[in-house]
Structure 1
Amino acid sequence: MNVPVTGNIKEKILSESEKLLWKYGVRTITMDDIARRLGISKKTIYQHFTDKEDIVYHVVSHHLTNEICEVDKILEIAENPVEEMILVSDMMRQHADAVNPSLLVDIQRYYPKAWAAFLEHKENRIIKDIMASLQRGVEQGLYRADIDLETMARLRVELIQLGFDDRVFPHAKDIMALQDQLLHHFVRGILTDAGFVAYNQSIDKLKKSTI
């Protein structure tokens, strides 16, 4: 189905490319598919982007920028660091239906520029955010005081990436159910008694909000 192209054509190309790449995978979708989706010629696309790798890079960068905005909103509304982590995981779940399970692995394998952008985001934003959240949790008595903040932050990020790797979990039928398992395994390992109370309250609150 063609999508009417109005307004800023470059933004429209990025928007529709993201939908296609996220749903069907970065390797599957071609420049022809993108042109056909928009009802424009490939020549028009090449006026704005060098090649498919350029599109993938800009799509990933755009997605990461939007993700930062969503996480910032969560940090504003969460009652404590435990709830922050639960809500961020739920945000991932809400996006899961639109994401091909092989997306992250394929970007790592075949699109080095886009992967470099993700790694920069991972180092300069994700890990630092998780470390800050863990620090607040320790200060509030929700997380154990003996945890190493950087080690735990990096472990959390690696667990997320691991959950999308079909080489490690080749038979995973529900990626977000797998991510939930990894999240809860991680969180429960660093909670104090007070943290467990906050954890159970956050889970109950989330369940009620989704009914």
Structure 2
Amino acid sequence: MKEKILTEAEGLFWKYGVKSITMDDIARQLGISKKTIYQHFEDKEDIVFQVVKDKLDRDEEEFQCQFRGAGNPVEEILRVSELLRQHAVTVNPSMVLDVQRHYPKAWAVFLKHKEQYILTSIQDNLRRGVQEGLYRPDIDIEVMARLRIESVQLGFDERVFPGSRANVLAVQEQLLHHFIRGLLTEKGFSVYNQYNLNTL
């Protein structure tokens, strides 16, 4: 039952945002009482925490699969961006902002994941790209890795990019290609242009 509650809650959060969904909504969606939910979770924040943690764990597994399947750092970053594009279709942009503003425990898990996994993965990609002559040798790896992370998050912020959810993909596509083109050497551009992928 605990896993079923988490699955339904996650679906509601992604579709409608976190703040607008109540414990009553989750119970109604499952056809159970709130008492049953409280047998497994202390409160809504506990559910949000577990949903975010589980989602990040699944994302990490998916990203590792993309890393293993890529032939070079350029392909890797495009493959990961395609995965992000697939995820973005189902995301309510307000979810991340809701978690950031109202659920500190879940947000702390997200920040830890961001620093310890996402940032490290991007830095590794940038180092290998420089070593293989695909990325410019003069890039500041720390600065560019943080720029990429923040630009993805910024692309979901409706205060910065107001509009419909459909526009999220277009914004992320612009941010990705602006970012990666700024990294590439002539050799890197040659590799980049070989990939006719529908990436972010």
The aligned counterpart of 1:177 is 170
Question: How far off is 1:135 after superposition?
Answer: 0.5
User: Which of 116, 123, 126 in structure 2 is aligned with 1:131?
Assistant: 123
The aligned counterpart of 2:138 is 146
User: Which of 58, 64, 72 in structure 2 is aligned with 1:66?
Assistant: 58
DSSP-derived class of the 1:118 partner: helix
TM-score normalised to the size of structure 1?
0.91
**Which structure ranks higher in relative contact order (CA pairs < 8 Å, sequence separation ≥ 6)?**
2
The aligned counterpart of 1:6 is none
Quote the Cα distance in structure 1 between the aligned partners of 2:101 and 2:24. 22
User: Which of 182, 187, 190 in structure 2 is aligned with 1:194?
Assistant: 187
TM-score normalised to the size of structure 2?
0.96
Quote the Cα distance in structure 2 between the aligned partners of 1:13 and 1:36. 11
Equivalent pairs counted in the alignment come to 198
1:22-72 CA-partner distances (Å, limit 9, x unpaired)? 111101111111111111111010111111111111000000000000000
Q: Are residue 110 (structure 1) and residue 107 (structure 2) matched? A: no
Question: How far off is 1:97 after superposition?
Answer: 2.3
Quote the Cα distance in structure 1 between the aligned partners of 2:126 and 2:18. 34
Question: How far off is 1:144 after superposition?
Answer: 0.4
Q: Note the 1:64-103 alignment, pairs <5 A.
A: 64-103=56-95
Question: How far off is 1:166 after superposition?
Answer: 1.2
Q: Are residue 22 (structure 1) and residue 47 (structure 2) matched? A: no
Q: CA RMSD in A?
A: 1.3
Question: How far off is 1:199 after superposition?
Answer: 1.1
Report the identity percentage: 61
Runs of 4+ in 1 over 6 A off after TM superposition: none
Contact 1:82/1:137 (<8 A) preserved: yes
Quote the Cα distance in structure 2 between the aligned partners of 1:96 and 1:125. 20
